[in-house]
Chain A
């Protein structure tokens, strides 16, 4: 058993900094590179792409990244764990195998894929078998919106990743694995943690939570001395774990960023719910038990984390069509910029009312005078300029289309000192709503499958 296992974070979402994973591999020794590409909304975007093209539906950026890094990954013994497979891990693997045939590596790379988290094709069978997939927040059964569902995936845990690693995989490509599993699967594999060793798994979840948002744990977004952090080339987090479940959060010393009690605590509380009840497919972690010690030199020790047995159900992420929306903006300048923007909004709303269009919501915000922070200042000053931002949402695409034609007229037939309309007519966007549900674990786990292929 190794004394230490180093799991480096290289990507916190699809669209994150593309240099980060390369720097993680090239600026110091690591054992694993974990790349998280998926958010709730990402799955529905990928599903749409797959509907148009059966060879799409995964995070495409992942493939050129691995083709570039492949020789170094093999030479350095770095294994990659990622959920880049999205709704089509097999297509992701085929693109990798195809590209790798032109990349000389010291030995052939082995790519594993995890299949079975996708429930879209099974949805009607599941409903017929009595799995209601009720909305966790409203209690409504999925049948209410069944015909509008775009994607449905169960959040799966570490077990299939462990199987892939035992099968000798250099790269494990999953679909909707949880973000945290991409880190703790590496630790469970290397240290041989039992699958009911809840405290170690709980610690692994904490490590995964720190890794899953990339630079957010190493000084990105920090409100504590934000001026003092060099973020031009930040080191992303690296977890240096020990067999007992304790670990040190750090980064490569010659890169920017910062790891302190402050940056690690900030990431720990990010998107936190009830800290004692952090539910994952493999255990329930208790984040209230986490203890930190700032060791200096960008090293923070995390220990004492406790976990509890896993639940009988898995969470399902379902995305469904919920209408259309568009947002129009115009900029109004001093003097009385806020009043001008408000008058323009009244005119716009008056014209929309006269057209008798159906909207679920019309929302007006005055950017510059209190559209952020969750509250507006009591008495805003007479500002140099503000942006009027009006959004509408409707089940009727035509109503939203018509709204997009009502912004430009305000330039001539509206209040003075207006500019900022060079972007043209607002774009109509499809609204994808999120439907969280639960499903019995065995319904999903009985269908999970791991496939390992070797590049030629």
Chain B
């Protein structure tokens, strides 16, 4: 493992009842296949074992170079029932960015350049069209 998800992706999370959703978005088109390969339902279930008591589902969004995870039974009952500080899973998006991932150096370098603002990122111009 030569990188964390934070180097190659960003994310947003939310809630629906006791289920948390985490959308993970690749910084570049080139890194997306590595997310599909390595950030699996099992990886995510294991990583969030402390809060996730149900199954993890994964959906692919190839047009958006994104993955959507549903973490069932992960919010202490959800809504106002939950006693958790983060009862809506708002910070799970940041949390998932600590996952480790292995990507080729050239792919990682392109991600670094996107983060640094040197190149615009994957859906600019006609990309993604």
Residues of chain A having any CB pair with chain B under 8 Å: 40-41, 137, 221-225, 228, 260-262, 265-276, 287-294, 296, 300, 304, 322, 325, 327, 361, 363, 365, 367, 371-376, 389, 391-393, 429, 431-434, 436
Contact = CB atoms under 8 A, between A and B. Distances in A.
Contacts of B89: 374
B84 A363 contact: yes
A275 B68 contact: yes
A431 B70 contact: no
Given A223-B11, A429-B80, 4 more contacts: A260-B121, A288-B59, A293-B125, A374-B96
B50 interface: yes
Contact of B48 (A225, A267, A375, A391): A375
A269 B69 CA distance: 10
A215 B97 CA distance: 22
Which 5 A-B residue pairs are closest in the complex by CB-CB distance?
A269-B23, A373-B95, A391-B83, A261-B123, A271-B14
B47 A375 contact: yes
Contacts of A294: 120-121, 123-125
Contacts of A137: 17
Given A270-B23, A293-B123, A375 B50 contact: yes
Interface residues of B, number: 61
Interface in B33-67: 47-52, 57, 59-64, 66
A363 B76 contact: yes
Contact of A372 (B61, B66, B91, B97): B91
A305 to B, nearest CB: 10
A372 B95 contact: yes
24 contacts: A225-B115, A265-B64, A265-B123, A268-B23, A268-B66, A269-B21, A270-B21, A272-B14, A272-B23, A272-B68, A274-B57, A274-B59, A287-B61, A288-B61, A290-B64, A292-B63, A300-B123, A325-B83, A372-B91, A374-B91, A392-B83, A432-B79, A433-B77, A434-B79
Contacts of B123: 261, 265, 292-294, 300
Nearest to B64: A265
A107 B81 CA distance: 48
Nearest to A276: B59
A434 B82 CA distance: 12
Contacts of B120: 294
Nearest to A263: B12
Contact of B81 (A300, A373, A431): A431
Nearest to A228: B117
B11 to A, nearest CB: 6
Contacts of B14: 270-272
Given A273-B21, A275-B59, A374-B50, A40 B79 contact: yes
Interface in B71-117: 71, 74, 76-81, 83-86, 89, 91-98, 115, 117
B24 to A, nearest CB: 8
Contacts of A373: 86, 91-92, 94-95, 98
Contacts of A224: 10, 25, 121
Given A261-B122, A275-B61, A374-B48, A266 B80 contact: no
B15 interface: yes
Contacts of B51: 374-375
A393 B128 contact: no
Residue among A322, A374, A393, A433 facing the most chain B CB atoms (10 A cut-off): A374
Nearest to A221: B12
Contacts of A291: 63, 128-129
